[in-house]
Every structure is written in C-alpha cells, then in structure tokens.
Amino acid sequence: MSLLPADSLVALLVEDNAADAELIAMRLETAAARTRESPVFLLHADNVADACSILSGVAVDVVILDLSLPDAHWLGALDRVRGAAPDPPIIVLTGLADEALALRALRAGAQDYLVKPPPSGPTLLRILRYARERQQLSRRLAAATRASDDVAQRWRVLADSSRLLAASHNLSAGLAEVARLVVPSAADGFVVDIAEDEHLPAVFHFAHVEEGEVGRIRPRLTRAVLDQAADDHGALAEALELASVVPTPLVAGDRTRGVLILAFSIARMNGPADREFARSLADRVGLAIEATLALQETLRSVEARDRALGVVSHDLGNPLGAILVCAAALLEPEPPSQEGVRGMAQIIERSARWMQHIVYDLVDRASLDAGHLALHRRTFLAHDVLPPLRVVFEPLAKERGIELAFDESAAFAAIDADPHRLAQVLANLLSNALKFTPNGGMVRLSIAGGRKTAADSAPASERSVVRFSVRDTGSGIAVDDLPHLFDWFWRSAHQSGRGAGLGLAIAKGLVEAHQSRLHVDSAPGAGSTFWFELPVVDHAPIAGGSPTVGDEHWQLMA
C-alpha cells in the first residue's frame, strides 16, 4: 500500500454476502471513474476475524461494516473491529432497519449508519470521503486540544514552581518540591544538579516516572553521564530510559551554577515546546538561586553588623571606661599629685590610642569589604619597611621580655607595593606574634629570597620573589582554630587577650590586594609562622624613603 497515490482511499468492506460485496465494489469503481477522482482500493473480508487480521497489517482509511456476520452479531462486530483499529472511521451498512440499534451503534463509535441496499456509487463514494475527512479533522482537533491542555498544564507547573521556590527558605527543599511537581505532571524525568561553592550549597535532586521518591537516582545515571550531558544527549537519554532529554544551564547572576535536565517519553515529547518549558523552568530556578545568594549575603551583612556593634560596645567600652575613671579622678575636689596626674594622662593616652586603633581597623575592614581600599604602589627596597617597625616593636618586645630578631637576607631586593600597607601587614603580624609569645620567647621577622618556579628559562621577574615571614615561639594554634583564623571578628576560645578580631583578617585582605596570599604554618606547642611572597622587580627605578613613624595607624598597637 506504500505505492498508492497520496490522495487515494483505502476501504475495508466486512461483508459475508458475496452479491452485496460485488455490488458495492462495482458501484465504487464506476463512481470513481466517472468523477475522475483518485481510485478507491477496496479490501474485502467476510468475517470479523479476517477483518481484524487485515487491520493489524494495513493502514485503512475507512471501514464498511455489516452487523450480521458469521462470527459476530450486532454491536459485537462493531466492538471487535473498533478494538482492532480504533483510528479508521466505521460506516455501518446493514440490512437491519432498526432506529434504536442505529443510535446505539453511533454512540458505540460508528460514524454513520446505512441500510441496505447500498446507496448509489457517487453517494457512497462521497460518504466514504467525508468520513475520512471528518476523522482527520477530529484527530487534528484532538491533537490541538491535547497540545492546549499540555501548554496549560505546563504554565500551571511553572506558576506553582515559582510559588514553591519563593515560599521556601531552603533551596534544596524547594527544588525537591518542584521535582515532585514536574514529574509526572509536565515531564517524565527531572534532574537538577547545582555545584557547591563558598556561598552556595550543593544541590542534587532526581525524579523519574518509575521512581518511588525524589532524590533516588537510577543505577545507570552516574556523575560521569551528568558531566557529559551537554555533549552527549543520547547517553543521558539512554541512562534515563526516555526518548528525549533537554539539558538547560542554570544561570544566576553572571555565572553558570549547574544544570537542569528534563526528559520526555515518545508520547509526550515535543521538541520546541519542551525546550521552551525547560528554559522557563531553568529561569525560575536561576532566580531562586539568586534569591538564596542574596539572602545569605544579607545574613552575612547582619552578622557583620552585629559583630561590629559588639566591638563598639565591648572593645571600645573598656578603654572608654578607663578614660572616664581617670577623668573623674582628675575632677575630684582634691586632685591627685603631679605624678598621679601624669600616670592618669598616660592611661588616657593609651586608652585613646587603642580606641583609635579599633576605629582604623573598622574603617579598613569596611574598605576591604566594599573593594574600595586604595593602594599607592611604588618600587622600593624591601629593607625600607624595617626602620619604623624597629622603632615601634623593639621597645615593646624588650618590655615583655621577648627577643625580637630581624633576618634581612633579601632586604635589598626591589619590590612593587604600597610601603605603608606592607608595613601595616607586618605590624599586625608582629603585634599578634608578641601577644601570644611568652616571656623569654622569640619573634623573628624574615625578609628572604626565593623562586616561584624551578624553570631556569623563565624570566627573572617570574622566578624571583621576596618572602616576608613572622615566626614566633608561642603556644601555636589549635587545629580547630586554623579554618577561622582569618575570619572577621573571630577570637579563639583557646586563648585570651584583647583585640577586636580584625588584625589578621585585615592583614589577609591587604596581602590579597597585592595579588598575593597570606599563609600560616602552625602546630600546638610548636609556635606559628605567617608568611607571604611578593615578586622581585628588576631594572626598575627605586623610590627612596620608607614609611614614617608618625603618620600610620598601625603603630597604635604599641
């Protein structure tokens, strides 16, 4: 039948009366010849069993069915033929002039009910062609209705997904609800895979029409298959055991955070509509990711604000209290002796300097957070940062009974940095080391040379670095403290001592502003070493001078 003309009509006549069958065939052939229309190819079966056999192997446009057959009677014949081939329209042509039976036949699926003798050839031909056209229109209408229902259902799923994601304060829990909603309402498979980063937890959910619960992964769906989803849709479809897959990137802000994969069976798949639905759903998940990131940023800001307020209320409260006590003593009716006044003035000065140091640190922290910290870089000798550090910290170390040593093996190498900020980093590290080194211990500041790479063919500017390190012989850092050492406002529960918990965090931020990284090597009982590296600058003019002692707030630690 595949070689038939495109507009030909294939009819199956189910009739056990040979005379009636011959008459119908003749009338159809004659009518088609007279009207010069495309021919009618008439197949014949004289019982329902043979008719069902023909319908199972041949595409038939219309069935002409008698209701009195050797192996089926009345509506039983109609039911069996309709069961064998539900698509072709059925024209009942029988000798039973029974109006009630005709109505029952039409309700059971017959498209028309004719009583023998058969109508004229042109009339019968027109009935068959109209039956085929009505069936085609009915199929298109049904398809359009299904498509409209699918679109409406998908819009409902998108709206409900937006509601679920907006109402959930937990991204993973919200996506689990979305997975249950999408499958099986709008798709047959659902995978969402979001990569973990410093501000976003990893999220993975999987739903499939044959799976009992969201999150259970099919044995054939592996991480390797997911990783190649963008390049090998066939492997992913095979792993999901579905006909079509639509991977869509999950974009939040300016970054791709993961992938959303929808899968469809043959019965449901609709290429352009599936891609549009997947894109729309991915957009909503992307907005949920952005909302999660914004919420976490807000929580971090609130936490930072609360910590800053704690610093202001606690760390500023102590020196402020000392100032108030001294001021009250000076205002007594009987003022203290001159020596007492001088002592109180010194307490007031130290307290004010400490308050000023905390304020400067808070300003630096805000500048680092906002990315507005300005560096005034120039080329100078590493040695230039040492004089002000000696002035400030040598007396302090001597007062505390600590040996302060300087190793200057690479002190005359040229570097490109902000000398005042570099001195501030080293001052913070020295202050921290002196704070946690006991009487009789040692703190060593080293300026040593080194190489970034062992490749001798590399340019000197890439090979040579200056390593700044501050080493102490203190008690070392507890293992569980190391991950939090550079956190803002963090103070160890294992150690006591004043401070706002800003010095090391600011040092880290200043080193990173110089495109370097602050490291720490420590073990309990073995002391600590903080170090970072800056590249050596060759053949560059050297700017004279060094950070002055009187104009930088890092001195206030003394």
- From CA 328, how far away is CA 29, in angstroms rounded? 125
Q: Let me know whether 438 and 350 are in one domain.
A: no
Half-sphere exposure of residue 397, counting CA atoms within 13 Å on the CB side? 25
Q: Let me know whether 331 and 398 are in one domain.
A: no
Q: Following DSSP, what letter does each residue of 324-380 receive, concatenated?
A: HHHHHHHTSSSPPPHHHHHHHHHHHHHHHHHHHHHHHHHHHHHHHHHT------EEE
Range of the domain at 108: 9-141
Query: In this structure, is residue 81 part of a structural domain?
Result: yes
Query: In this structure, is residue 302 part of a structural domain?
Result: no
Element holding 158 (H helix, E strand):
helix 121-167
How do residues 393-424 score in pLDDT, each as one tens digit? 888 888 889 999 998 887 788 999 988 889 88
Alpha helices in 45-120 (DSSP H): 48-57, 75-84, 99-107
Q: Which residues pair with 442 in a beta bridge?
A: 403
Q: Let me know whether 365 and 385 are in one domain.
A: no
Tokens of 71: 């192996």
Q: Let me know whether 257 and 397 are in one domain.
A: no
Q: Let me know whether 76 and 115 are in one domain.
A: yes
pLDDT at residue 212 in the model: 54
CATH of the domain at 461: 3.30.565.10
User: What are the contacts of 216-225 at 24+ separation with CB within 8 A?
Assistant: 221/191
The pTM is what? 0.53
54 contacts 45 by C-beta, under 8 angstroms: yes
Query: In this structure, is residue 284 part of a structural domain?
Result: yes
Query: In this structure, is residue 153 part of a structural domain?
Result: no
Contacts of 28 (CB under 8 A, 6+ apart): 11, 40, 42, 121, 124, 125, 128
Half-sphere exposure of residue 366, counting CA atoms within 13 Å on the CB side? 9
Look at residues 294, 289, 280, 291 and name the one whose alpha carbon lies nearest to residue 193: 289
Which residue stretches of the chain have pLDDT < 70? 1-7, 211-220, 223, 228-231, 304, 307-318, 354, 357-358, 361-373, 450-463, 484, 486, 488-502, 539-558
CATH of the domain at 136: 3.40.50.2300
Q: Let me know whether 379 and 444 are in one domain.
A: yes
Q: How many separate domains does the chain show?
A: 4
pLDDT at residue 55 in the model: 94
Q: Let me know whether 129 and 216 are in one domain.
A: no
How do residues 299-317 score in pLDDT, each as one tens digit? 877 776 776 666 566 556 6
Q: Let me know whether 15 and 129 are in one domain.
A: yes
pLDDT at residue 454 in the model: 45
Q: Let me know whether 324 and 409 are in one domain.
A: no
Q: Let me know whether 432 and 362 are in one domain.
A: no
Query: In this structure, is residue 308 part of a structural domain?
Result: no
- What is the residue type of 244? S
Backbone angles phi and psi of 507, in degrees to 5: -60, -45
Query: In this structure, is residue 17 part of a structural domain?
Result: yes
* 3-class SS of residue 247: strand
CATH of the domain at 182: 3.30.450.40
Q: Let me know whether 404 and 341 are in one domain.
A: no
- From CA 361, how far away is CA 503, in angstroms rounded? 7
Say which residue the tokens 């990284």 belong to. Answer: 517
pLDDT at residue 440 in the model: 92
Query: In this structure, is residue 74 part of a structural domain?
Result: yes
Query: In this structure, is residue 156 part of a structural domain?
Result: no
Q: Let me know whether 438 and 348 are in one domain.
A: no
